[in-house]
Amino acid sequence: MARIDRFFDELIKRKGSDLHLGVGYPPLLRARGELTPIREDVVTREEIESLLFEIVNDVQKETIETNLDLDFAYAYQNFARFRANYFYKTSGLGAVFRIIPAKVLTLDDLGCPLAIRKLADRRAGLVLVTGPTGSGKSTTLAAMINHINQTRSCHILTIEDPIEFVHESIKAQVTHREVGPHASSFAHAIRSAGREDPNVILIGELRDNETMKLALQLASFGVLVFATVHTNSAAGTIDRIINAFPADEQPMVAGVLAESLVGVVAQQLLKTAEGTGRVAAHEILIGSPALAAIIRENKTFQVPSLMQSGQGMGMQTMDLALERLVEKKIVSFEDAIEKASDKESFAKLQQKGRGDELADLS
């Protein structure tokens, strides 16, 4: 048993999501969104090196010493897997471990709207799951892949850095490829993906315009492509992809994106009202001729209105998703308004709701 495993035991026991280690600070864990120390004693330089270098091989140790950072996955027996990031900072070596549950949660477990399940049922196109770091994007994508694995006889290919959720083949054949051990780069792995006869491809992250262009090509060739982007809204995601390209290429990219995009799920994580866990709020944009026209004509400012009018298709804005969580008393109004896009309108909705409740009582 590695010495660092005792910290993972504590993280699992407290149902935390992340472990932070740094010289001069006590070990910290994030539970329900808050960082709290595991002990009073700070981590020393000698201790952190012994903890972190014990669980890496010689090649990984050379990588951290040469590149000054390292990403990899660490399996803690059968309890959990962790996405690990080692890095150097002013005080010396540091690390953050993000827990990847051993059990892949289902869409029902996560309480995902039906529209997200329908996106997983599509046969071709590009589906983007977006949100800030730590918003649960990987968990939602894993649930969508799990749904396909349980319902379709197909080939699912994942390209990740590192591999997070491991899917055992159920109805589908699942192939996991990790950048580094199995491919020299995301771009190289995506280029070769078309020759590996996939029906579904999960790309861990669209990091640059090269991976974006390749993902768009695969989606236009009749493959269902899932990917993540670090943006906070559906409209922002479209802008992010198009603006990643030089001005002379943007009209062409917009045209391909308009044809290929079948959905965007932008999500935020909030503490539950009782404070025992966290829940995701989903903004959902569904591909349609109207959306394709908006993308081609560079009118993404119209996307929120499209989501408002497209509720019958399963679309919803982030503010509507938050409003529904408040109405169901799943999250508090105070936490919801913090995440709302239009805080003024959101506050008026809440005031109206309270006014209606008082009217019902009178």
Taking the domains of the chain in order of start, what are their residue ranges?
Answer: 5-101, 107-345
Per CATH, 5-101 and 107-345 having the same topology is answered no
Q: Which residues pair with 173 in a beta bridge?
A: 155
Top CATH class, 5-101: alpha beta
Backbone angles phi, psi at 22, to 5 degrees: -155, 145
Q: How far apart are CA 45 and CA 121, in angstroms?
A: 50
Q: How far apart are CA 306 and CA 301, in angstroms?
A: 10
Instruction: Provide CB contacts within 8 A for 120, sequence distance 6+.
Output: 107, 127, 144, 145, 147, 148
* C-beta pairs of 251-258 under 8 Å, 24+ apart in sequence: 253/212, 253/213, 253/216, 254/295, 254/296, 254/298, 255/296, 256/216, 256/217, 256/220, 257/126, 257/216, 257/295, 258/291, 258/292, 258/293, 258/295, 258/296
Q: How far apart are CA 44 and CA 26, in angstroms?
A: 9
Q: What is the secondary structure of 96-124 as a DSSP string?
A: EEEEEESSPPPHHHHT--HHHHHHHT-SS
- Local structure of 137: helix, strand or coil: helix
Q: ω before 162 within 30° of 0 (cis)?
A: yes
Q: Which fold has domain 107-345?
A: Rossmann fold (3.40.50)
So what's the pLDDT on residue 360?
A: 47
Which of 311, 269, 268 is closest to 288 using CA atoms? 311
So what's the pLDDT on residue 353?
A: 53
So what's the pLDDT on residue 357?
A: 43
10-residue mean pLDDT series, the chain (362 residues): 91 91 95 89 95 94 92 84 93 93 88 96 97 89 97 96 90 92 87 92 90 93 93 94 96 96 96 87 97 96 96 95 93 92 83 49 38
So what's the pLDDT on residue 204?
A: 84
Backbone angles phi, psi at 287, to 5 degrees: -65, 140
Q: Is 253 in contact with 295 (CB distance < 8 Å)?
A: no
How many Cβ atoms sit within 10 Å of the Cβ of residue 2?
12
So what's the pLDDT on residue 358?
A: 35
